[in-house]
Amino acid sequence: MNVNFDIPVYDKIEAPMQASKWLKLPVLLDSHEMEALFKYLGEFFIVQTSGIMPLGKELISKEEFLDCYFNYVMSLKNGEIPKDPRINTYFTAVFSISPHALYKVRIDSARQMVQVKLPILQLQNHRFICGTDKKFHSMIFGPQSISWGIQFSYPQLYQNKEMQALKVGEGADFPNTQLFKALQRWIRENTRPTPFIIDNDRLVNVPIRLGKSCFEWINDHCQLATANLKVRV
């Protein structure tokens, strides 16, 4: 872990960064594909931003993240629902090149919170449903929702602390734009829109992405059969 990723410490929590027009990339990768993505992205850091945490425990190592993701994928391959407790934290973290896109606030002598100050690459535990309308809806949670990797998001607009609405661009003020563009390139080249078959007779190509290596095992995903779905391979 690079010890130079020193997130600034503030005395108090500022107004939360407001962002909109998020570009979203929902994708399920095999574990070795996620490792290849990390290598392609180069140097970046994974930061926990949800809730209160012990002092100095905001960084998640790439090795730990990849180990969690490996367990997640192995569960899907084995026809099981992933239950690694780290998923809730790791799959809702953020990626950032610069520590200055975030800040820390101490709650007491042992605990802290991490807040976002500038646009970062946001992760979400991605789930979807195929509704009664036979349409696919991302980020719907419930007993019928299907676990499908991670949704990566990056905003196009954000509001700074002076309440100015700004377009997210490139340069020093937006250190993570190039990180997101690299992610977009890799996803476009190494994954495909998913060709779902609904009720064994209707083929629908869905923008939810699937890593090319996943086609070998994706129909072992136990939640697909429950929803009368399978992937054309």
Tell me the per-residue pLDDT of 168-185, one tens digit each, with 9 for 90 and over. Answer: 988 888 999 999 999 999
Residue 142's pLDDT is 84
Residue 214 lies in a domain: no
Torsion, CA 104, CA 107, CA 110, CA 115, rounded to 10: -20
Residue 17's pLDDT is 84
Question: What would the 3-class secondary structure string for the chain be?
Answer: CCCCCCCCEECCCCCCCEEECCEEEEEECCHHHHHHHHHHHCCCEEECCCCCEECCCCEECHHHHHHHHHHHHHHHHCCCCCCCCCHHHHCCCEEECCHHHEEEEECCCCEEEEEECCCCEEEEEEEEEECCCCCEEECCCCCCCEEEEEEEEECCEEECCCCCEEECCCCCCCCCHHHHHHHHHHHHHHEEEEEEEECCCEEEEEEEEEEHHHHHCHHHCHHHHHCCEEECC
Residue 155 lies in a domain: yes
pLDDT digit string (tens) for 54-90? 999 999 999 999 999 999 999 999 999 999 999 999 9
Task: Residue 162: give the domain boundaries.
Answer: 9-192
pLDDT digit string (tens) for 199-224? 988 999 999 999 999 999 999 999 99
CB 53 within 8 A of CB 111: yes
CB 204 within 8 A of CB 198: yes
Per the structure, how many domains does the chain have?
A: 1
Residue 209 lies in a domain: no
Residue 8's pLDDT is 95
Residue 188 lies in a domain: yes
pLDDT digit string (tens) for 112-122? 999 999 999 99
pLDDT digit string (tens) for 106-156? 999 999 999 999 999 999 999 999 988 889 999 988 888 999 999 999 999
Residue 142 lies in a domain: yes
d(CA 137, CA 148): 12
pTM flag (> 0.85): yes
Tell me what the mean pLDDT of segment 154-168 comes to.
86
Any idea how long the chain is? 233
Whether residue 16 is predicted with pLDDT greater than 50 in this model: the reply is yes
Residue 232 lies in a domain: no
Residue 101 lies in a domain: yes
CB 30 within 8 A of CB 192: no
Chain mean pLDDT for the chain? 94
Residue 218 lies in a domain: no
